[in-house]
Chains A and B, each alone.
Chain A
Amino acid sequence: MTSLVIAEHDNKTLKEQTAKAVTAAAQLGAPVHVLVAGQDAGAVADAAAKLAGVEKVLLADDAQYAKLVAESVEALILSLADKYDAILAPATTNGKNYLPRVAAKLDVPQISEILKVVSPDTFERPIYAGNAIQTVQAPEGKKVITVRTTAFKAAEATGSASVEKISAAADPGISKFVGEELSKSERPELTSAKIVISGGRGMQSGDNFHLLDKIADKLHAAVGASRAAVDAGFVPNDYQVGQTGKVVAPELYIAVGISGAIQHLAGMKDSKVIAAINKDEEAPIFQVADYGLVADLFKALPEMEEELTKLGY
């Protein structure tokens, strides 16, 4: 039969995580459909239709899907589930919110955050903050899967699938979206940036994050943080990288004033190159860093900015 990928988007643009989940879905060996649940999300459906390997896009355009409220999305996916063997979503906070509901209703386990498709029913996934990798085989029946998107390449925009409008499911009416406070940034998103520069408790204050911002601006990097920096209120929660925050795997990750706790490493140790600046030469971050600089960050960061300026950045 067919696999269904639930699209991640903001009603205007399709998020790259969807293209990555499509790649994972294609590896199951069956045709791939994409479901866009949204409001005035036609442009998103058109973008999904261009993803290589996608056979058809389903567009459910309705006010109740404006924010992918879990209870509504559950009802919509269940109304389509009969036609699909596998249902996949990127492991974003949206995917993690609605997909387990679908699995429970279908009476199947959810396979969370797959890193690899070993065969159509066998997957690798991280456990214990990525300190162990489990290879699991799904039982007969439907597969419900969230995809760790950093582990898959994005499907390219070379396809031309059709878009079919479908009707909304009945609104369960038990929960409603009230509002949101989104961090505004001109910089790339953490999960898709080629370079990420993160600060930890060593930054000492939110103001000092400007030292990182200046370098991020030069390198078109995203800015992240450790849990300690978020808990201390230096930066908002969505900056957190780690086991329970965002997982990133950029070309270059620069950790500044971060000790390197396993929960932090869980979110960045698959980065291609890791650089660390820390004044403690014993800091565990140096055990995973390709390039380590033992230095006071308040001296090193301004120097780095200057050095980059000298090189024309």
Chain B
Amino acid sequence: MKVLVPVKRVIDYNVKVRVKADQTGVDLANVKMSMNPFDEICVEEAVRLKEKGKATEVVAVSIGPAQASETIRTALAMGADRGILVKVDGDVEPLAVAKILKGIVEAEQPGLVILGKQAIDDDSNQTGQMLAALLGWPQGTFAHKLELGEGTARIEREIDGGLQTVEVKTPAIMTVDLRLNEPRYASLPNIMKAKKKPIDDKTPADYGVDTAPRLKVLKVTEPPKRQAGVKVKTVAELVDKLKNEAGVLP
């Protein structure tokens, strides 16, 4: 079974983002970019499936600018076999990403597509679910644990009240949550090896997808700022302020 892992290039999660003064977006100039943290978990899970003999090949896909090839290289260094870069400049909305991924799925015929539950830039949490719907496939979102059976997958999911297990027929879509696994660091020899692994260059037109944004971003602004308050010296003072100054104790 082939496993497809979509990986997105995003602002590194440690970077404090700055909203541009002209309110057109956030400042991406000279900012460190990395693989979306959830997508590292996807790659790790796919590579583990291969190591366990459950997957035959792991294909990493990224939709983005030319530099997204670095994100694919990271996946290759972690153990993915080859990459597909669908080159697009500018923002691509989840629906267009899902349509491109559908085209890739039809060409590659994977048994499982593992996506992140959310990209930490747009915080959309949509792409995997949209891809599943477009393909008419079942999904196990926010995965905490995966067990592959014969033609099925049992996925334990992180939900609001705790954990839930669903069983889906494969081929299927899975989106991962933080505690599915702990992604490995690529070793130096594997980083070197990754340089020789193939990356196919594609365009959205190859899949007949129009990536023009459908949502119009009117502006991007800073959220209201919270001011630091006061430091209190003792627990008694804290309780007193909460009760009598802020009035928030019952």
Q: B residues bordering A, Cβ < 8 Å?
A: 11, 13, 16-17, 19, 26, 93-95, 98, 117-118, 120-127, 129-134, 136-142, 144, 154, 157-169, 172, 177-179, 214-223, 226, 228-236, 238-239, 241-243, 246, 248-250
Contacts and interface: CB of A to CB of B under 8 A. Distances in A.
Contacts of A263: 13
B161 A238 contact: yes
B243 A311 contact: yes
A69 interface: yes
A272 interface: yes
Interface residues on A, range: 35 or more
23 contacts: A97-B142, A100-B125, A100-B126, A100-B129, A104-B129, A109-B214, A122-B218, A127-B122, A131-B16, A135-B219, A135-B220, A177-B166, A178-B165, A180-B162, A237-B144, A237-B177, A252-B248, A262-B16, A263-B13, A286-B228, A290-B229, A295-B235, A304-B238
Interface of A: 67, 69-71, 74, 92-94, 96-105, 107-113, 122, 126-139, 172, 174-183, 191, 194-195, 219-220, 227, 230-231, 236-238, 243-244, 246, 251-252, 262-263, 269, 272-275, 277, 281, 286-295, 300, 303-304, 307-308, 311, 313
A104 B214 CA distance: 13
Contacts of A133: 220-223
Contacts of A129: 120, 123
Given A133-B220, A134-B217, 19 more contacts: A70-B138, A71-B138, A101-B133, A111-B215, A122-B218, A129-B123, A131-B19, A132-B222, A135-B217, A136-B216, A139-B215, A174-B137, A177-B164, A181-B164, A195-B250, A269-B223, A272-B248, A291-B246, A293-B234
A175 to B, nearest CB: 4
Could you say which of A134, A238, A252 has the most chain B C-beta atoms within 10 Å of its C-beta?
A134
Contacts of A126: 123, 223
B17 A132 contact: yes
A99 B130 CA distance: 9
B158 A194 contact: no
Could you say which of B11, B98, B117, B125 has the most chain A C-beta atoms within 10 Å of its C-beta?
B125
Contacts, number: 261
Nearest to B215: A136
Contact of A291 (B122, B160, B165, B238): B238
Nearest to A121: B216
A231 B157 CA distance: 15
A103 B215 CA distance: 13
B125 A174 contact: no
Contact of A137 (B127, B218, B239, B250): B218
A307 B235 contact: yes
Contact of B230 (A237, A291, A300): A291
A132 B221 contact: yes
B179 A175 contact: no
B124 A104 contact: no
Nearest to B118: A244
Contacts of B137: 174
B26 A136 contact: no
A179 B165 contact: yes
Given A93-B160, A97-B141, A112-B125, A287 B250 contact: no
